[in-house]
Amino acid sequence: MSLQQSQIVERKKKLSCSFLGHQLEVVKNYKHGQNEYCCKWCKNQFTDTDSGKPGFLTPKLHRINIALEKIYYRKMRMS
Ligand SMILES: [Zn+2]
């Protein structure tokens, strides 16, 4: 596939996201109830947010997820 062709494919994938929504697959299932997702088409990463809808996974949100996971396991050990 030429570079130009692959660019067109990339653009189509992104278009399908804006029209049809992202095709999210769970990539990380946290015990504390938040999941991380990856879009099959645009490869963007998402996580559950307070609003209940998946939002973009920022490095900050990723750190929070990991921290919550640690707290969860600490609680489990103590109980
Ligand atoms: Zn997408």
Give the per-residue pLDDT at 71: 94
Closest CA to 48 of 61, 35, 67, 62: 35
Distance 47 CA to ligand 1 centre (A): 13
The reported pTM is 0.75
pLDDT in tens, 37-64: 999 999 999 999 888 888 999 999 999 9
- Reported as a pLDDT band with limits 50, 70 and 90, residue 1 is low
Distance 12 CA to ligand 1 centre (A): 11
- Reported as a pLDDT band with limits 50, 70 and 90, residue 14 is confident
Bridge partners for 65 per DSSP: none
Distance 14 CA to ligand 1 centre (A): 6
22: pLDDT strictly greater than 80:
yes
From residue 12, give the alpha-carbon distance in Å to each of 1, 6, 24, 58, 63: 15, 10, 17, 24, 32
Bridge partners for 29 per DSSP: 35
